[in-house]
Chains A and B, each alone.
Chain A
Amino acid sequence: MVCAAASLVLSMPALAGDPDATKWNAVLEDARGETVYFNAWGGAQNINAYLEWAGTEIEKRYGVKLVHVKLDDTANAVAKVVAEKAAGKNSGGTVDLIWINGENFAAMKAQGLLFVPGWAEDLPNRKFVDVEDKPTIKSDFTVPVDGLESPWGMAKLVFFHDSANTDVAELPKSASELLTWAQKHPGRFSYPQPPDFIGSSFLKQLLIETISDRALLQKPVDEAMFSEVTAPLFAYLDVLNPLMWRRGKAFPQNYPAMKQLLADNEVDIIFAFNPSEASSAIAAGELPDTVRSFTFPGGTLSNTHFVAIPYNAAAKAGALVLADFLISPEAQGRKQDPAIWGDPTVLNVAALSVADRARFETIDLGVATLKPDELGPTLDEPHASWMERIETEWKRRYGAAN
């Protein structure tokens, strides 16, 4: 039924009067004077400051005003669009652009809550995007993007430790080595409690490393096989749980909480979905400058985060202009600088002009950030349905009535 709804949505013609990204001059003309309400997570001041800069720039260049609607959870923006649809408010909605991740995208696409047809591939700056080497740009958690969202940044799972307290030679190089490490150092590792995004990502990493046939993960969960193929994962977690911080009876709630645990010397190894998080934290005085990064040589999870336009957005032309600006070499280069944000680019840097390439090559990535060639291989996201089942099973085993 979901598929039917999705194909119905995709075949729907654009509403009359909607901007067409292939006619960019008309889009620019429409956009002038519009206010774009960009619904994006507001929990980090460096990101908020970056968006303020973007707002100043697009107002100066295109006469588009940017208002950052600061969310504590992206799903709140989805909820607003749902409520508007329920109320029959099919135009003039309150959300113009959403910073979105795979699960929310899959839900909005299936519910027909996105601006169609696919516009992202028609943006002028799209030509700089690295579609070849970054497959997650065309498929978000295995759901085809179909141009319904525009890439904004790349993520990769990277581990951090404090070299002043932790023996570097002992650091784990795989999930199974992590378990051995935890046995030697009980109480010194934890992960954010699923369904927190980072915590769930860690479970995905374990799933990929413990499952016997990785090809299964590219398809939706087959319920009949679920317990069999995930048996190694839960055997692993059963051993790990009592070895963790607070014996697995409590978990940090998100990445920043985990970062605070490292700073408080409560744990020894943490991880993030952005290779330069540690450098940013050192620069902000939140972590000591002895913190360093490492990854698993066998590969770690990676994905792309996006921006999307709701079907009933009031300022679609303005949203298009903003989405395009966000993938300009200038905006992407600024975003990759750990002193400003430190979010890896979605662009193909090698293909940029000399001047634009220089923006990226001169960035000081910081002491704790691995070079792009040190990050190791990337592992693809499993289909979104896997996460849902694993989270449910996790909650039953470790998240209830300990």
Chain B
Amino acid sequence: MLPRLGPPLAILLLAGPIIAGLLGTLLPAFGYLPALGGNDFTTSHFQKLANEPGIGTSAALAIIAGLVTTAISLAVVMLFVAGWAGTRIFARIQQLISPLLAVPHAAAAFGLAFLIAPSGMLSRLVSPELSGWQRPPDLLIVHDAMGLSMIAGLVVKEIPFLLLVTLAALPQVDLARTRLLTASLGYGRVSGFVFGVWPPVYAQIRLAVFAAIAFATSVVDVAAILGPTAPATLAVRLTRWMQDPDLSMRFFASAGALLQLGVTVSALLAWVGMERVGSAICMAMSGRGHRFRHDRTLRNLALAAMLLAALTVASGLVTLGIWSCAGLWQFPDMLPQQFSARAWQNTAPRIGAPLATTFLVAALSTLIAVFLAVLCLIREGETGRSNGRSALLFIYLPLIVPQVAFLFGLQLMFVLSGTVASMPALVLAHLIFVMPYVFLSLSDPWRAYDRRYEAVAAGLGKRRWTTLFRVRLPMLLRAVLTAAAVGFAVSVGQYLPTLLIGAGRLDTITTEAVALASGGNRRVIGVYAFLQLILPILGFAVATLLPALIFRNRRALRA
């Protein structure tokens, strides 16, 4: 009866801390926090927020970034899968893109900034010979007011995420036969996919898309590295208010955290509206019989966009790598004047303990998350979807509620119970963020699993548990391992929860990296970006290689 415990356990472990944390935000937002002298309820902090210079711009930037980033990423993924699924090129690109998921957002953003800045790598490639620039041009590219660099940085990271969840959903629709059918009706490759295959795929990845929107509206590190600064996006400003030495700012910051919540929800609602419009357009076009037979250009564009995303992150990382062993490297030199191992030598003696903590916390939180997710999904299968879904709504809270909105309150709770800075507390804090991603990655392939396999097993007289372990789990092994790898990468990338709940005593590679990144030293950032990459890449390697190894004699299960 273990599965019955799944949903309540998930709610207790996940929604509990978030609700407590949110209360710890909600009360101060309305003026109540006796420890800081707030004894009465008031809306004055919201009034102050409304008068904050540029607050409307900051909020609008967040909403636009959320919608544009997701729309572009999703369009690229959809058109690419539509045009190329099943081809050899598709398999190649898939191998190229998947590791990008493991690249921490901050590292990818730093890499992009080094590429596109006026004094960056691209400019150095053409200077001074082609451009005539002895000095970098005074152009506002990184930190541009429209947030275009930030959106680019988010797009190159959302594409691998959305591609991965799409790939996980794809086996559950009959791609090959639908394609044959649409082709026989005269549809082009892309339009056949968009009209015939995409709707059920999208239904499966919809929550992942919501997560992408919520993430892009509230991201702190990418926005701080690439986004506008005058004013910055809401989440960046909010994080600063939270850290303001003037403690009365906590009330104001809490009000801001609620505004961030509103911004994220608005973006999600706007997206739901866009979904309607999009599906109406599709219906209208297919209704009129447009078949879009000649879509070679569109297919090639989608491929180019995919390659560009991969190349951008990869060359950004290479540039970071060169910086990590650069001596003096001035504009317009294409390569450093000297190379130096100093940054690596300085780092080497200090990485053992943080690396071990990172691994331990990530491994434990991922294991628990996978276990809980499987229990919840089994239970959901037993009781029917609607029942399971309403309970599991809580699991998605951490993806939709911006971290900053509830972490201070959560920290308070751990301090109260005297467990702050302990390993179990840190694992639990990570679990809150790991679990939704694991669940998101796993639930749709799990739900779309063809239960007739189980019916056949039952017909052969196999018990429920035998069916689970011998039939369903092996068939879903890839999905389970992929979900675990995603969860592992999410844990490795956690900064704020580690800092607050670990109380700075449990250092991970990421807390070290962000602390050092605040010093802005590109050499050190380069070193830590690579250290941050090691563990998630290992995770994805295991997720890719293990099924291939286990199923080396079962062709249909290998791919």
Interfacial residues, chain A to chain B (CB-CB below 8 A): 37, 39, 41-45, 48-49, 67, 69-80, 82-89, 94, 103-104, 106-107, 111, 187, 193, 195, 245-247, 249-251, 253-257, 259-260, 263-266, 284-288, 388, 395-396, 398-402
Contact = CB atoms under 8 A, between A and B. Distances in A.
B247 A265 contact: no
Given A103-B246, A193-B230, A249-B140, A69 B504 contact: yes
Given A86-B412, A265-B119, A399 B342 contact: no
Interface string B509-528: 00110111111111110000
Contacts of B167: none
B47 to A, nearest CB: 16
Given A107-B245, A388-B246, A83 B53 contact: no
Given A250-B140, A264-B331, 7 more contacts: A45-B521, A80-B504, A86-B35, A94-B504, A246-B139, A246-B143, A263-B329
B331 A265 contact: yes
Contacts, number: 184
Interface residues of B, number: 71
B488 interface: no
Given A94-B421, A285-B327, A187 B138 contact: yes
B504 A37 contact: yes
B454 interface: no
Contacts of A83: 408, 411-412, 415
Contacts of B408: 79, 83
Contacts of A263: 328-330
Contact of A94 (B53, B505, B515): B505
Nearest to B117: A264
B506 to A, nearest CB: 10
B398 interface: no
Interface of B: 33, 35-36, 53-54, 56-57, 117-119, 135-136, 138-140, 142-145, 224, 228-231, 240, 242-247, 250, 326-331, 338, 340, 342, 346-347, 350, 408, 411-412, 415-416, 418, 420-421, 499-500, 503-505, 507, 511-512, 514-524
B231 A401 contact: yes
Contact of B36 (A82, A285, A396): A82
A249 B519 contact: no
A283 B511 CA distance: 27
Contact of A73 (B138, B420, B518): B518
Contacts of B514: 72
- Residue among A48, A104, A254, A401 with the most chain B CB within 10 A? A401
Nearest to A39: B504
B154 to A, nearest CB: 19
A254 B229 CA distance: 12
B346 A49 contact: yes
Contacts of A42: 512, 515-516
Contacts of B517: 43, 72
A90 B350 CA distance: 33
Contacts of A73: 243, 518
Contact of A86 (B33, B140, B231): B33
A44 B517 CA distance: 9
Given A70-B507, A70-B512, A249-B230, A94 B331 contact: no
A243 to B, nearest CB: 11
Contact of A400 (B231, B504, B521): B231
